[in-house]
Chains A and B, each alone.
Chain A
Amino acid sequence: MQKPELEKEFIIGCQAAEITPLLKKVLQEIDSSSLKAEEIKFNLELAAREMLANAIEHGCALAAENSSRVEMKIRIELKITEKELSFKVSDPGPGFAWQKYNLETMPRFEEKGRGLKMIYQVADQIKFNSCGNQITVIFKVN
């Protein structure tokens, strides 16, 4: 495992209004690192917005339905090494059966179901934990 040049953790509440300020901080952290890749930042923002939207819309909502005791927070980890940038989002929800999910076929006229497929399209790699309440995207650094 390569030693990260930058490793940061952020925590936000389950509020859409927290997404833009968080992304501003994340992009500032990237700018302060030696990574100079506008295309990665562009794609990261697109992926991150979908990941955070899913965390709030599904993870937080299901967590609230299932238990009033769970901490309604979303954890975000940004890691940059010489070879890659990884961005991880963990939500308080029960997860979903990502193993059965088709990430490749983009819906045509349907109004929903594009978020994860968009993430899959722009990232070099996408990973889930076993229960599906944690998603990581990886972008390779040239």
Chain B
Amino acid sequence: MLELLEESLELLVEKNTAVLKFDGEVIFDNSNQLKEEAKERLKGKTEVDKLIIDLSKVPYLDSSGVGVLLSLFKFMRTREGSLAIAEPNAKIRRVFDVTKMTEIIPVYMSLEEAVNQN
């Protein structure tokens, strides 16, 4: 399981900005592990106050996946930082619409756009 997780999560840090890239579905079966692994990696990067979650390689994210995003939103809020989502596909955007998640976390159609936002 650990090996699988390492392949499905990547954290790239440049100055105060981190891009967390998930690869594969983010669903009830792996959501807890992904959430804990992401937080663990971010704990060591105290300079990061802007986190972008890149969903370009995520084919689907269910209600548990929404829970992961909200958990990371709260994690960033405790360090007075921000969270944004980049490149969700049409199915995931529908999940965001239905759960009203876009009222809480900003969503951008490209990673570049998300990085360039304040």
Contacts and interface: CB of A to CB of B under 8 A. Distances in A.
Chain A interface size band reads 20 to 34
A46 B27 contact: no
Contacts of A56: 28-29
Contacts of A110: 67, 70
A56 B94 CA distance: 23
Chain B binding surface SS class: helix
B91 A106 contact: no
Interface in B58-115: 60, 62-64, 66-68, 70-71, 74, 90-91, 94-95, 98-100, 104
A46 B29 contact: no
Name the residue in B60, B62, B63, B91 with the highest tally of chain A Cβ atoms < 10 Å from its Cβ: B63
A111 B28 contact: no
Contacts of A42: 90-91, 94
Given A106-B99, A114-B99, A117-B99, 11 more contacts: A16-B27, A19-B27, A20-B60, A43-B94, A45-B91, A46-B91, A53-B64, A108-B104, A111-B71, A112-B63, A118-B63
Interface of A: 16-17, 19-20, 42-43, 45-46, 49-50, 53, 56-57, 106, 108-112, 114-115, 117-118, 121-122
